[in-house]
Structure 1
Amino acid sequence: MNDQSQAPLISVNVLTSLAAIPAEEWDSCACPETADGGRPFDPFTTHRFLKALEDSGSVGPGTGWEPRYLTAEKDGVLIGVTPLYAKGHSQGEYIFDHNWAHAWERAGGRYYPKLQIAVPFTPATGRRFLTKPGEDAVGLAALTQGAIEFATQNDVSSLHVTFCTEAEALAGEQMGLLRRMTQQFHWENHGYGSFDDFLASLSSRKRKTIRKERRTAQDFGGTIRTLTGDDIRPEHWDAFWRFYQDTGSRKWGTPYLTRRFFDIAQETLRDDIALVMCEREGVPVAGALNFIGREVLYGRYWGCIEDHPCLHFEACYYQAIDYAIALGLLRVEAGAQGEHKLARGYLPKPTHSLHWISDKGFSDAVARYLIEERAAVDEDIEILTAYGPFRKTAQEEQQ
């Protein structure tokens, strides 16, 4: 039998600001792979990105996203961290629980505040339980249990872990959390050497449509450039802020990110960014913001001050594919929703989340719903994939 007196001492603590933990300590859990000097797999869980949200006032008092970061230590040594927030609403999450909130409150309960382990405003899959190499199982268990204990102590309705990895979702389910599956559209790089190589994999009709869209977009009367690092200048953020405000006001009522966020991005995040700028007569008229991971390009925001046919498709989807091929990236994740992405080579892929609900009766009802929802999402992915733009093999056509 094991000597229980020798069992490691695990402790979980709550931080209300990333200023309380040095960047190198957080990143030793969030992106240990950067020790070789390369990019992080997930740029959104780095200390610099999350601190940019905090320092810019995009999260914090008055935003409905109150930081409650968790740290896990084993025998006094940091082994894991997670970005946890106390939420006063369900905005900026992209895995929707509005119906759950309405049902809870119709029954006389108080759904908010709730707790959310997530990257705010960012529907990109990545690890949410950020652990040092070799501490995955212990760190995940400690952070999960710590988050549930924190939720219980603060008498909140629920805890949600959004856009986690499939492995985390399955591990969380084994620990008693509810597993949910939703979907997004991703483009995958099958070793293409050029955009034309990608086009060659499509059916003739879809190939012609995309070529026509690209010609139409590129004939808008200006230039399209993708900028990164020191090529991005402060004036580009002035232009992009105008684009972002237009999109934010139409989609969300008010933009999630503050103007200060883009100033901080210029200072600390520009090497993580691929910024597509469309200019006409020297004036920026549209743009798309992407973040660069070690293997994935993440499309995040688009906006414009002039409408031009097909320019949205070009800036958001085709320029992203060009860039991913040039860098040898494996995938482009173009954000939430949008079945219009299907015809442009972006196929449906499952995304995952975990949920803990304090009320057992309500939790049981949600669990039954999620079983049916997963089956429906599976079927939807299968059907949509079959309607994708790629050429069918002779065997597939016979099936």
Structure 2
Amino acid sequence: MTQPALALTLHAAIREIDPAAWDLCAGDDNPFVSHAFLSAVEDSGSAGPRTGWMPRHATLNEGARLLAAAPMYAKSHSYGEYVFDHGWAAAFERAGGRYYPKLQVASPFSPVSGPRLLLRADLPAERRPAIRRALAAGLSQSCSELRLSSVHVTFCEAEEYEELGAAGWLQRLGTQFHWENAGYSCFEDFLAGLSSRKRKSVRRERRDANACGLTYRTLRGTAITAAHWKAFHRFYLATVDRKWGSAYLSERFFPLLSQRLGDRVVLMLAEHDGRPVAGALNLLGAETLYGRNWGCVGDWPFLHFELCYYRAIEFAIEHGLRRVEAGAQGEHKIQRGYLPRPTYSAHWIAHPGLRDAVANYLEEERSARLVEMEQLATLSPYRQEA
């Protein structure tokens, strides 16, 4: 008996896809590609017409059986992605081309690495490469049929990056700063691995952050109330205003996320006289704590480092996690124990001229990025073994 043909379908909302079938592909490791996260983004109005993130989720089916999926959006701009292609768009449009709309395979507003070409967990190992290739081919074919300029798979896993590169997609390297757990039993154990000067610096920052009369709380699941989320949304808006950014995430998003992800949502708060003044939102994966949003009101010395970096490390050690990913950018994270790690993306561009120009640019950029990461690694705060 022959197997049914593979069929790719694009969906205008994640709710069109059965949650259990989607999550069988997404897995449990990374909450940012879960049906719960993506539905919270959409149902809160954070991804949709208001923000220019129009869902076009792809599913690859064999008959009635969902084999693979990709979280995908039609974009009329390049904001909220953290892998910048504004220069490509400007150059193409100066030459008379039309870069937007494009397709973006990503977790919205989340510079978090994880799977993007999602394969059903019980798919036999020998079929997985072929199914992933079929999904990637379906994405590029959809781009052509819709007469769009490009498809961008951002913050994907290394295996996906290599397979997409082998299929002719353009490859791009990025850099983030992650903390790795070397089997520490407590924060002091981590500090003992730092050089003397860096150890003293961290202790001084923590001492000053804790000398302001603040009380710190780490809340999960039902312990996070509507009042906490209202305060956190205020912090989020204050941070966006300071950075001249766009407030993509609506006030409804945060409690909806908490409701749907439960204990995987970790909110770290700082309070002064019983009133929240700062917060750091994290999501908990199988082995990783992902720092996502932060904000505060008022001026508190070293509070950002305490709430987003040091308390995240303490949480990871306490819960036996392998790493903390504290978000995009930030060479200042190195001296606080977060070391440079590569991030990956892959790009399919329809226009031959633009494709060749971007390919040349990316080849030079990759070489420069590798040199940069080697140089950044020399700034490690950890003691060098004799």
Amino acid of the structure 2 residue aligned with 1:282: G
Aligned to 2:109: 121
Q: Give the TM-score normalised by the residue count of structure 2.
A: 0.97
Q: Distance in 2 between matches of 1:262 and 1:136?
A: 35
Shift, 1:252, TM fit? 4.5
Aligned to 2:272: 280
Aligned to 1:391: 383
Conservation of the 8 A alpha-carbon contact between 1:177 and 1:354: yes
Q: Secondary structure at the match of 1:329?
A: coil
- Unaligned regions of 5+ residues in structure 1, if any? 32-39, 395-399
Q: Secondary structure at the match of 2:130?
A: helix
Conservation of the 8 A alpha-carbon contact between 2:36 and 2:257: no
Q: Distance in 2 between matches of 1:234 and 1:219?
A: 29
Shift, 1:306, TM fit? 1.2
Aligned to 1:37: none
Per-residue Cα deviation, 1:178-229 (whole angstroms, up to 9, x for no partner) = 0100100000001011111110110000000000100110111120111111
Q: Secondary structure at the match of 2:84?
A: coil
Instruction: Name the Cα RMSD after superposition.
Output: 1.2
Aligned to 1:366: 358
Amino acid of the structure 2 residue aligned with 1:20: E
- Unaligned regions of 5+ residues in structure 2, if any? none
Amino acid of the structure 2 residue aligned with 1:72: L
Q: Distance in 2 between matches of 1:216 and 1:136?
A: 52
Q: Secondary structure at the match of 1:187?
A: strand
Return the match for 1:265 from 231, 253, 257.
Answer: 257
Amino acid of the structure 1 residue aligned with 2:145: Q
Conservation of the 8 A alpha-carbon contact between 1:234 and 1:266: no
Q: Distance in 1 between matches of 2:244 and 2:100?
A: 19
Aligned to 1:397: none
Aligned to 2:314: 322
Q: Does 2:125 match 1:130?
A: no
Aligned to 1:222: 214
Q: Secondary structure at the match of 1:143?
A: helix
Which consecutive aligned stretches of 4+ in structure 1 deviate over 6 angstroms post-superposition? none
Amino acid of the structure 1 residue aligned with 2:274: G
Shift, 1:307, TM fit? 1.1
Per-residue Cα deviation, 1:77-111 (whole angstroms, up to 9, x for no partner) = 11111101000100000010011011011111111
Amino acid of the structure 1 residue aligned with 2:260: T
- 133-142 vs 302-311, which deviates more? 133-142
Q: Does 2:61 match 1:73?
A: yes
Q: Distance in 1 between matches of 2:119 and 2:244?
A: 33
Q: Distance in 1 between matches of 2:273 and 2:359?
A: 56
Shift, 1:7, TM fit? 5.6
Q: Distance in 2 between matches of 1:76 and 1:303?
A: 45
- 8-17 vs 239-248, which deviates more? 8-17
Q: Secondary structure at the match of 1:364?
A: helix
Q: Does 2:199 match 1:176?
A: no
Q: Secondary structure at the match of 2:199?
A: helix
Percent of paired sites with the same residue: 52
Residues 7-18 of structure 1 aligned to structure 2 (within 5 Å): 8-18=4-14
- 171-180 vs 221-230, which deviates more? 221-230
Shift, 1:313, TM fit? 0.3
Give the direction of change, closer, same or farther, for the CA distance of 1:252–1:145 in structure 2 (3 Å limit).
farther
Amino acid of the structure 2 residue aligned with 1:18: I
Q: Give the TM-score normalised by the residue count of structure 1.
A: 0.94
Conservation of the 8 A alpha-carbon contact between 1:162 and 1:353: yes
Q: Secondary structure at the match of 2:328?
A: coil
Q: Distance in 1 between matches of 2:259 and 2:382?
A: 41
Q: Does 2:21 match 1:62?
A: no
